[in-house]
Amino acid sequence: MFLVGMSMLSAGLKGLAGRKMREMLGRFTNTPLSGAVTGALTTAAIQSSSATTVAAVGFVASGMLTFPQALGIIFGANIGTTMTGWIVATLGFKLNLGTAMLPAVFLGALLHLSGRPQLSRARLALAGFSLLFIGIDQIKLALAAFEGVVTPTDFPSDTLLGRLELVGIGLLITLVTQSSSAGVATALAALGAGAISFPQAAAMVIGMDVGTTVTALLATVGGGTMARRTGLAHVIYNLLTGVMAFFLLGPFLLGPFSTLVAPLIAEGNGQIALVGFHSMFNALGVVLVLPFARPFARMIE
């Protein structure tokens, strides 16, 4: 239900944005920085990093964008995709909106009967947004049954090798669901149920961030050299960001950030800390790569 909700929400928002989204991606990407901002805003607006990166691949293949311009969009999409995690953590887990959203699904169906294209797209987005929270409620309900039965000891331990295994599990979940947002929602629910610890959940989220590149890579199949370069750049960039995040996890838990993270986990707000870590390493990755965007592009070429 969560995946269906994500798909409907993204399709509805893309339909409403339509040509404006494509124009914005094409017009505001003169520099890697403006491309990153545009990519982040577009992804946050349509709730799909895959849609943004696939669009960037298409623009490069058609000659609308140069390869360095598309890189900025890809960098920014990684930041924009963390917005879903914040919605899930702050609304989905703090408020029980599943039942409250049922009338919104009905309203979405009524709008669909209007026959007007704009209203039809709006109902798709509304119904998708509602199903998102109903899906989250079902995930929470399902994982609650494992509370006390499945514990962090059932997963790889919090060692270097254990964290690598957890990264692999996160990557596998994203490959199966084709949605890093669904994987992050599952990790948040498992963390809330006590099935996994915070370090285990953080390692899985790193894997999910790397796994999300597969969709863009598939979009390059049959494309030209420029499209393949864009897909490859997305994979290499996310791998580098994932490696950085892996080595940042220790300092995040025990370093300067521990004064912020430890109280959140102790107060039962581990989900907020987890999406904060997800946003932090993605934002840091963009900040570090932007000054070297053109040399990075040359390296890929």
- State pLDDT tens for residues 45-70: 776 776 777 777 777 777 777 787 78
Beta carbons of 89 and 271 less than 8 angstroms apart: yes
| pLDDT exceeds cutoff 80 at 280 | yes
Sign of CA dihedral 96, 41, 215, 191: negative
- All residues at 6 or more sequence positions from 85 whose CB lies less than 8 Å from its CB, including other chains: 181, 184, 185, 188, 274, 275, 278, 279
Whole-number Å distance between alpha carbons of 56 and 64: 9
Tell me what the mean pLDDT of segment 179-200 comes to: 83
pLDDT at 246: 92
Give the pLDDT of residue 25: 65
Who's near 64: CB < 8 A, 6+ residues apart?
Answer: 26
Q: What is the mean pLDDT of the chain?
A: 79
Any idea which residue has 């007007």 for tokens? 116
Higher pLDDT, 176 or 26: 176
pLDDT at 285: 92
Helices marked H in the chain:
2-27, 32-46, 49-62, 67-80, 82-87, 102-112, 117-144, 160-177, 180-192, 198-211, 213-219, 225-254, 258-266, 270-289, 293-300
Query: Quick check: helix, strand or coil at residue 151?
Result: coil
How much is the pLDDT for 26? 65
Model confidence at 240: pLDDT above 90: yes
Strand partners, 150: 147
Q: What is the DSSP letter of 113?
A: T
Per-residue pLDDT at 230 exceeds 70:
yes
pLDDT band per the 50, 70, 90 thresholds, residue 226? confident
Q: What is the pLDDT averaged over residues 265-276?
A: 80
Share of the chain above pLDDT 70, in %: 84
Does 148 score more than 70 pLDDT?
no
CA distance 57 to 231: 7
The mean pLDDT value for 232-250 works out to 89
pLDDT higher than 70, residue 95: no
- Tens-place pLDDT, residues 112-127: 676 666 677 777 777 8
Q: For the CA atoms of the chain, what is the radius of gyration?
A: 19
Residue 239 is predicted with a pLDDT of 92
Over pLDDT 90: what percentage of the chain? 9
Q: What is the mean pLDDT of residues 184-194?
A: 84
Contact (CB, 8 A) for 249 and 199: yes
Does the pLDDT of residue 235 top 70, yes or no? yes
Asked if residue 183 lies in contact with residue 177, where contact means CB atoms within 8 angstroms, the answer is yes
Confidence grade of residue 242 (pLDDT, cut at 50, 70, 90) = very high
Q: What pLDDT sits at residue 114?
A: 65
